[in-house]
Amino acid sequence: DTEVTQTPKHLVMGMTNKKSLKCEQHMGHRAMYWYKQKAKKPPELMFVYSYEKLSINESVPSRFSPECPNSSLLNLHLHALQPEDSALYLCASSRYGLQGHGSPLHFGNGTRLTVT
């Protein structure tokens, strides 16, 4: 069982829809991450929150909007997506904030997103 929980597991949305992906961890971790993974590729970093503040945005298009309501929750709001945004979206957390080098990431099982 993973200690990082992501909902929903699967999501199909049209290009005009607005939806949200949710991520939750109760390990007391202080950094949380969103990754995007296309088929047969490694995960690509999108956003990092450290101590509930957005610390890294890897030049992600504005149709993806992250939110960290508290230290245990991370959301990714989706609006006006394109078919090429279809992918597995992974959430992860690590014990220390971004300055905690070497702190391993704990991943959720991801949300499989299909944009039609």
**Amino acid identity, position 14:** G
Those residues with Cβ within 8 angstroms of residue 12's Cβ, 6 or more apart along the chain or in another chain: 113, 114, 115, 116
- The tokens for 33 are 């991450």
Q: Which of 17, 20, 55, 75 is close enough to bind another protein by CB under 8 A?
A: 55
Instruction: Tell me: does residue 50 bind another protein (CB under 8 A).
Output: yes
Ranges within 72-91 binding another protein (CB under 8 A): 90
Please state, in angstroms and rounded to a whole number, the distance separating the CA atoms of residues 42 and 99.
23
Instruction: Tell me: does residue 106 bind another protein (CB under 8 A).
Output: yes
Q: Which of 28, 42, 69, 83 is close enough to bind another protein by CB under 8 A?
A: 42
Instruction: Tell me: does residue 99 bind another protein (CB under 8 A).
Output: yes
